[in-house]
Amino acid sequence: MSSPLPILFIGNKNYSSWSLRPWLALRWGGIAFAERLMPLGGEHYGRGTNPALRSVSPTGRIPLLDTGTVRVHESLAICEWAAERAPSLWPADADARAEARAVSSEMHAGFAAVRRELSMNVRRRVSAPPSWSDDAAKDLDRLFGMWADLRARFGEGGPWLFGARSIADAMFAPVVTRLRTYAVPMRAPLDAYCATVLADADLRAWEADAELEPWGIAQTDALYP
């Protein structure tokens, strides 16, 4: 008798950047899993207060991976769980792998202004780049400088940050969607990197599902009319 699949509890695909990250890692690692969507917005749940989350996650937040023997919360921890089963999710070279882990951790803990002011909204497109704070501008400068540096030093083997697709790309994929949503200007060669991420078949599958979701979060949808 086969073991049940691990279950990844996720939020709305239109808005939940933290859910997208481990979802991509599991898909890219070829790891079979079931997904269970817990709505974070809409008329019943306001800004993300779905009371059922407490029955799923010890933090009251998602994503969470239930393997049947352990419940793993936090996006990056779930990605690491996936990498233990699919080591190719990290670069093979030890130095590149260390850098990939470092920038993934930086994304996990930092870029607060970008997360606050350029909230993930897959369905949305603004007509022109909005004005944002100095903190958000600094975050974007750091982001673009980091990507350019990684591509220059590690990108010879392919179009991703470290050549081959990795957890680092999964961590930054939601940011790429935000740059598109808010019409942030991109220059070569970073425009090519963003195009690579947006063309990924798994990301496109996620976005197709997001387009069909009935829920909305008014505060996010009202950003930069």
Class of 7-87 in CATH: alpha beta
Pairing of strands 71-73, 34-37: unpaired
Q: Is 208 left (phi over 0), alpha (psi -120 to 50) or beta?
A: alpha
The H or E element spanning position 193 is: helix 190-199
The two domains 7-87 and 88-208 share their CATH topology (first three levels equal): no
Q: Could you tell me the residue ranges of all domains in the chain?
A: 7-87, 88-208
Tell me the pLDDT tens digit for each residue of 2-12.
569 999 999 99
* Fold of the domain built from segment(s) 88-208: Glutathione S-transferase Yfyf (Class Pi); Chain A, domain 2 (1.20.1050)
pTM of the predicted model as reported, rounded to 2 decimal places:
0.91
pLDDT digits (tens, 9 = 90+) for 80-116: 999 999 999 999 999 999 999 999 999 999 999 999 9
Taking 60 as the threshold, does the pLDDT of residue 132 lie above it? Answer: yes
Residue 42 in this model has a pLDDT that exceeds 60: no
Give the pLDDT confidence of 43-72 residue by residue, as tens digits: 444 444 566 666 676 766 789 999 999 999
pLDDT of 191 strictly over 70: yes
Residue 92 has what pLDDT?
A: 96
Average pLDDT over residues 137-162: 96
